[in-house]
């Protein structure tokens, strides 16, 4: 098939809603024409309706959003299978995951960058629907993790992050556990929690 034959386009006439016309007009400049907007929209519709034909990252995003799936590292997964939760605390790749997410080695980060990496990666992995980070005037951090599971879930993850942070940073972590959320108060050892 020649390039000429591949570029042949067919005219389709359809009546659409005012809302659809507004959307086409909104993206017309970005895509170069109204027909290009419709072509792109149909590609997206095909991916949505036929997920098996999607790219892996698109599939993960859909599985996370629509099926509420979570991303689990192999080491963590194998520890879960053994029923050894303490092994998860010791033998995990959380540090490597955060380094990958931030794009820096731990030695190149400060504590705040590390915490932002932790927040970003654990939201991407779909363990929490919201994570908020605050830093007070004394440099003490508070992270609030929100989820829709149980107090056991809060206790597990607060212990997990306490272990991760105290192992990798010179800091003191004080958890406050609730049913569907938990807080971590984090101060570097040079500072004191007030």
Question: Sheet holding 141-146: strands in order across?
Answer: 130-135, 141-146, 181-188, 171-177
CB atoms within 10 A of CB 162: 18
d(CA 102, CA 115): 10
Asked whether residue 6 carries a pLDDT value surpassing 70, the answer given is: no
The model's pTM is 0.67
- Average pLDDT rounded to a whole number, residues 5-12: 75
What are 138-156's pLDDT values in tens digits? 999 999 999 999 999 999 9
User: In the chain, what are the domain boundaries?
Assistant: 18-67, 74-188
Asked whether residue 130 carries a pLDDT value surpassing 50, the answer given is: yes
Contact 140, 191 (CB under 8 A): yes
Identify the residue whose tokens are 């929690």. Answer: 193
Q: Write down the pLDDT at residue 152.
A: 94
Least confident of 64-73, 118-127, 173-182: 64-73
Contact 92, 84 (CB under 8 A): no
User: Which residues on adjacent β-strands are paired with residue 187?
Assistant: 172
Asked whether residue 42 carries a pLDDT value surpassing 90, the answer given is: no
Q: Write down the pLDDT at residue 54.
A: 62
- Average pLDDT rounded to a whole number, residues 16-27: 92
Asked whether residue 172 carries a pLDDT value surpassing 90, the answer given is: yes
What are 71-111's pLDDT values in tens digits? 888 888 888 888 888 888 887 888 998 998 888 899 999 99
């Amino acid at each position: 098939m020649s390039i000429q034959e591949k570029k042949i386009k067919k005219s389709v006439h359809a009546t659409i809603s005012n809302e659809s016309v507004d959307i086409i007009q909104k993206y017309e400049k970005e895509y170069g024409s109204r027909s290009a907007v419709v072509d792109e929209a149909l590609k997206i519709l095909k991916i949505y309706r036929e997920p098996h034909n999607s790219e892996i990252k698109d599939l993960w995003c859909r599985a996370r959003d629509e099926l509420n799936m979570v991303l689990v590292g192999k080491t963590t997964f194998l520890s879960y299978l053994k029923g050894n939760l303490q092994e998860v605390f010791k033998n995990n790749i959380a540090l490597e995951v955060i380094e990958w997410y931030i794009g820096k080695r731990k030695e190149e980060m400060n504590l705040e960058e590390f915490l932002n990496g932790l927040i970003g990666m654990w939201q991407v992995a779909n363990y929490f629907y919201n994570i908020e980070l605050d830093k007070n005037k004394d440099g003490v951090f508070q992270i609030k993790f929100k989820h829709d599971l149980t107090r056991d879930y809060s206790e597990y993850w607060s212990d997990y992050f306490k272990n991760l942070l105290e192992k990798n940073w010179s800091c003191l972590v004080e958890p406050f556990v609730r049913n569907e959320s938990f807080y971590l108060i984090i101060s570097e050892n040079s500072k004191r929690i007030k």
